[in-house]
Amino acid sequence: MSIRTNYEKWYEGDEYYWGLEPGDFLLDLINLCPPAENTKVLDIGCGEGKDAVFMAEKGYDVTAFDLTENGIRKTIALAHKRGVKVNAYVDDINTFETDEKFDIIFSTGTVQYIFNENKEAFFKKLEKITKPNGIVFINVFVEKSFLELPPDWDKEEKMWKSGELFTYFSDWKFEKIDEVIFEDNSGGITHYHCMDTIICRAKPGKTI
Ligand SMILES: C[S@@+](CC[C@H](N)C(=O)[O-])C[C@H]1O[C@@H](n2cnc3c(N)ncnc32)[C@H](O)[C@@H]1O
């Protein structure tokens, strides 16, 4: 079993660590790319699967991976319980490979686990596996000199520079970008995060 992140332990129990409510951002993605026959979605760092399973329930063909075996076990169990299928497996955002192409790719709270030396290759890979007109959603924690490092920050996580995420998509159509500071009480200690978010669309007819 992987011991790369604390999440393996946090996901052990029957409770869903992140709850079962899907992320609000999924409604934006559904509006931008509604489900049709064979609309393919990739969730990178799916945790225990709340978002991946929600997208499968909406009619998408969903693939999802996470570094944790417990997260994948719970993703598959949740999909089974809700009567849908998610192609979920253990993989690493740093090294994953796929021959498939996707209409929607999303990754929430996970991109900070990419090692610096893998960033360039990761975004090239995204370009390659997004269908023409496809949508990518990514959010990432960014550093601000006036904010302290969160108390539950993992040694494997790397804060990004403010705005850095957007630079990797200069050739895409921006549907939405923003940067927000928000309060978080995870771990029982009130702290603040700054997060950059992008939703963008691949060029029409782009073939790589
Ligand atoms: C903040 S959680 C977000 C989980 C999920 N996206 C959600 O919103 O519920 C970060 C996730 O990244 C996963 N993770 C950490 N390092 C990873 C890696 N190298 N490759 C893939 N997933 C990783 C963790 O296991 C965890 O599930």
**3-state DSSP of the chain:** CCCCCCHHHHCCCCCCCCCCCCCCHHHHHHHHCCCCCCCEEEEECCCCCHHHHHHHHCCCEEEEEECCHHHHHHHHHHHHHHCCCEEEEECCCCCCCCCCCEEEEEECCCHHHCCHHHHHHHHHHHHHHEEEEEEEEEEEEECCCCCCCCCCCCCCCCCECCCHHHHCCCCCEEEEEEEEEEEECHHHCCEEEEEEEEEEECCCCCCC
- Selected from 3.40.50.620, 3.40.50.150, 2.40.10.230, 3.20.20.140, the CATH number assigned to the domain covering 38-201 reads 3.40.50.150
Amino acid 2: pLDDT: 45
The model's pLDDT over 142-200, given as tens digits with 9 standing for 90+, comes to: 999 999 988 878 778 889 999 999 999 999 999 999 999 999 987 788 999 999 999 99
Question: Measured from the CA of 47, which atom of ligand 1 is nearest?
Answer: 27
Pocket test for ligand 1, best of 66, 137, 195 (most atoms within 8 A of CB): 66
Residue 111 CB less than 6 A away from ligand 1:
no
Residue 136 CB less than 6 A away from ligand 1:
no
Residue 18 CB less than 6 A away from ligand 1:
yes
pTM, full prediction: 0.94
Residue 64 CB less than 6 A away from ligand 1:
no
The model's pLDDT over 45-59, given as tens digits with 9 standing for 90+, comes to: 999 999 999 999 999
